[in-house]
Amino acid sequence: MFNPERFRVVLVNTSHPGNIGSVARAMANMGMTNLALVDPVQFPSERANAMAAGADTILEQAQVFPELADAVIGCQRVYGVSARLRSIAWTQLDPRQLSEEIYSAPQDEQIALVFGRERSGLTNEELDICEALVHIPVDEMHRSLNLAAAVMVVLYELRMSLYDAAPNPKDIGRKNASDKASSEQLQFFFDRWDATAKSVDFYKGNAVTVMRKIRRLFYKADLTDEEVKILLGVLTALDEELDKEQ
Amino acid sequence: MFNPERFRVVLVNTSHPGNIGSVARAMANMGMTNLALVDPVQFPSERANAMAAGADTILEQAQVFPELADAVIGCQRVYGVSARLRSIAWTQLDPRQLSEEIYSAPQDEQIALVFGRERSGLTNEELDICEALVHIPVDEMHRSLNLAAAVMVVLYELRMSLYDAAPNPKDIGRKNASDKASSEQLQFFFDRWDATAKSVDFYKGNAVTVMRKIRRLFYKADLTDEEVKILLGVLTALDEELDKEQ
C-alpha cells in the first residue's frame, strides 16, 4: 500500500528554481513530502516558492547534498527516471512496472526516485548508482519532458496503488527491508570489486563498460545485506592472498 | 489500442497563456495533437509558444470556440476532469477507470477531455455537457493541480494502453532464449568460483552452506551467457595472479 514516507524525490543539478517549486507542488498533490536536492543551481529561491503554490513546507524541509551518492544514503532501492531509452546496460521499467515492483517488495524499504538535469538528464556515473531506470513512455518525436511533469507521472503511478486492489506481495525470500542491501553498501562493494579486478589487470582497457555490466548483473540479483557481506568476504580473502605475493 | 486521433483536449477559459503552452508540450510528449480552446483569456501568445517547447504545431492547429458545447461537436464521449470530488450528480472515474472505459468502448468513438479554469474549474452548466467526471486522486490537503500536470496524468493513462502487455523488464536486455546462460555454463562457473574461493581459504569450514548462498545469489541475477563469460574472465585473471605467487 501507498506510504508516502517511504519515498524520496531526488533532483540532480536542477537549472531552473521554478522547476524545483513545480516539483514540490506535484509532490504535495500526490501526498509526498521528502525532497532531496543534489547540487541545485539556485536554491532557496523566490521563484521556487512562487511555483510551489502552497507546498512551501516541502521546500523548507528539502535537504541539499553535494553528490547523488549522499542523497540516497539509507535507501534500499534507487531508480533513475529518464525519457530517453538507454542502450543495454540498465534494467528498464515503465512507471507502472516500477509501481508493481515496489509494491511486491517488502513494504518498509526506502525508495529514491532520481530525476536528472532538465537538458541532459543523468550522467552514466549517476546512473551507476541506480538499480534500474524508469522510462516514461513518451512519443519518440517529442521526448523533452518538463521536470515536474515527469515527477507527476511517476508519483501518480505510485499513488494509484491506493486505488488498486491491494497487490499480493510476492514471496521473494526476504522478510523485511533491512534484508535488502542498501545503496551505499552496494556502491562500497562495487568499489571494492573494481579495485580487486584492477589489481589483477582484468579489464584490459574496457573498465567502464565492463564494470557497468557487472553492476547490472548484481543489481538484477537484488542482493541482500547478507549476500553483500559474503561477496565482500570473498574479496577480502582474495586481497589478502594477492597482497602476500607483493 | 491507443489511437491519438480519437482524442481532443479541451481547455476552458484558461487564464494563463503559459499553461496553454505547457499543455501543448504534455500533449506532444504523449503523442496527441488535437487541442481545442474555449474562450481563452489570451491566445495566441508568445508565452504559450515559449512553454510549448517544440510543440508549436499543436498551438498553430488549435481551434478556438466561444462555448464548450461548440468545442465538443462530433464527440461521442465528453469527460470533465477535476481535482475536486463533486457531490453525487456525476459519475466519477479515476484516470485508470477512464482508460478502461474508453478501451472497452467501440474504437472509433471520438473522445473529448475537458479541463476547467485554473482556479475555479468547470461550472455546473459545463459539467452538464460531460457524461462523467474524471477525478485525479490528489491529496486532500493539496488539491490545487497545475493544469498541464492534470492533462499529463490523464493522457499518460490513456497512452499506457500501448504498453499494457509490456515484457518483463529483466528480459529486455536479452534478445532471445539462447542469451540466457545454460545450466552447464552456470555449473562450470560455480565450480570455478568454488575452486578460487578455496584457494584463498575463504570458507573457513562453511563451504557447503556458503557456496549454496552464492549459487542462489547468482541464480537470482538470471545471468546471461555474456555475463557468465565476464565473471569467468574475472576468475581467470584472479587465478593467474594467484598462481604467480606460488
List CB contacts (< 8 A) between B242 and chain A. Answer: 238, 241-242, 245
List CB contacts (< 8 A) between A159 and chain B. Answer: 137
Question: When comparing pLDDT for B47 and B104, which is higher?
Answer: B47
Cα separation, A198 vs B232, whole angstroms: 15
Positions in chain A short of pLDDT 70? 83-89, 164-178, 245-246
- B245 pLDDT band, cuts 50/70/90, is low
Question: Tell me, what's the pLDDT at A169?
Answer: 33
CATH topology (fold) of B4-162: Alpha/beta knot (3.40.1280)
Cα separation, A132 vs A111, whole angstroms: 12
Least confident of A12-16, A185-189, B90-94, B149-153: B90-94
| A213 has a chain B CB within 8 A of its CB | yes
Q: Among residues 64-123 of chain B, which lie with CB inside 8 Å of chain A?
A: 83, 94-96
List CB contacts (< 8 A) between A16 and chain B. Answer: none
Question: Tell me, what's the pLDDT at A171?
Answer: 32
Closest CA to A27 of A39, A38, A19, A17: A19
Cα separation, A12 vs A31, whole angstroms: 21
Is 80 exceeded by the pLDDT of residue B175?
no
| A223 has a chain B CB within 8 A of its CB | yes
Angle between helical axes of A225-244 and B207-220 (0-180°, round to 10) = 120
- Cβ atoms within 10 Å of A159's Cβ, excluding its own: 21
Cα separation, A26 vs B153, whole angstroms: 11
- Cβ atoms within 10 Å of B244's Cβ, excluding its own: 10
Q: How near does any CA of chain A get to the CA of B64, in Å? A: 24
Cα separation, B152 vs A169, whole angstroms: 29
Strand partners, B114: B10, B80
Q: How near does any CA of chain B get to the CA of A242, in Å? A: 6
**Where are the extended beta strands (E) located within chain B?**
7-12, 35-38, 63-65, 77-82, 92-93, 111-115, 132-135
Alpha helices for A160-224 (secondary structure H): 183-199, 207-220
List CB contacts (< 8 A) between B54 and chain A. Answer: 142, 144
Q: How near does any CA of chain A get to the CA of B169, in Å? A: 6
Q: Among residues 4-23 of chain A, which lie with CB inside 8 Å of chain B?
A: 22
Question: Tell me, what's the pLDDT at B183?
Answer: 78
List CB contacts (< 8 A) between B153 and chain A. Answer: 152-153, 156
Least confident of B79-88, B175-184, B203-212, B231-240: B175-184
N-to-C CA span, chain A: 55
Give the nearest partner residue to A139 out of B28, B95, B149, using CB atoms. B28
Question: Tell me, what's the pLDDT at A233?
Answer: 93
Per the CB < 8 Å rule, is B55 touching A142?
Answer: yes
Question: Tell me, what's the pLDDT at A87?
Answer: 62
Q: Give me B218's grid cell.
A: 547468482
User: Please, what sign has the CA dihedral across residues A11, A121, B171, B227?
Assistant: negative
* Class at the top of the CATH hierarchy for domain A181-244: mainly alpha
Least confident of B79-88, B107-116, B227-236: B79-88
| B195 has a chain A CB within 8 A of its CB | no
Per the CB < 8 Å rule, is A230 touching B217?
Answer: yes
Q: Which of A212-226, B75-89, B124-138, B141-155 has the highest mean pLDDT?
A: B141-155
| A38 has a chain B CB within 8 A of its CB | no
Cα separation, B226 vs B231, whole angstroms: 9
Is the separation of the CB atoms in A33 and B143 below 8 Å? no
Question: When comparing pLDDT for A175 and B201, which is higher?
Answer: B201
User: Please, what sign has the CA dihedral across residues B116, B119, B123, B127?
Assistant: positive
Is 90 exceeded by the pLDDT of residue B19?
yes
**Number of alpha carbons in the 13 Å side-chain half-sphere of residue B44:** 12
Q: Can you tell me the mean pLDDT for B25-45?
A: 97
pTM of the model: 0.85
- B164 pLDDT band, cuts 50/70/90, is low
- B83 pLDDT band, cuts 50/70/90, is low
Residue with cell 536486455: B173
Cα separation, B236 vs B230, whole angstroms: 10
Question: Tell me, what's the pLDDT at A172?
Answer: 38
Q: Tell me the backbone φ, ψ of residue A16, rounded to 5 degrees.
A: -100, 120
User: Please, what sign has the CA dihedral across residues A106, A107, A110, A115?
Assistant: positive
Is 90 exceeded by the pLDDT of residue B50?
yes
Question: Tell me, what's the pLDDT at B243?
Answer: 86
B170-244: which CATH architecture? Orthogonal Bundle (1.10)
Residue A32 DSSP one-character state:
-
| A198 has a chain B CB within 8 A of its CB | no
Q: Can you tell me the mean pLDDT for B36-51?
A: 97
Contact residues for A116 (Cβ-Cβ < 8 A; gap 6+): A12, A13, A80, A81, A82, A122, A123, A126
- Cβ atoms within 10 Å of A239's Cβ, excluding its own: 15
Q: How near does any CA of chain A get to the CA of B68, in Å? A: 26
Q: Can you tell me the mean pLDDT for B214-225?
A: 86
Question: Tell me, what's the pLDDT at A136?
Answer: 93
Q: What is the domain partition of chain B in residue ranges?
A: 4-162, 170-244
Is the separation of the CB atoms in B161 and B103 below 8 Å? yes
Amino acid identity at B78: V
Closest CA to B24 of B9, B38, B12, B39: B9
Give the nearest partner residue to B245 out of A162, A214, A245, using CB atoms. A245
Please report the ipTM that was assigned to this predicted complex.
0.83
Per the CB < 8 Å rule, is A91 touching B173?
Answer: yes
Question: When comparing pLDDT for A40 and B224, which is higher?
Answer: A40
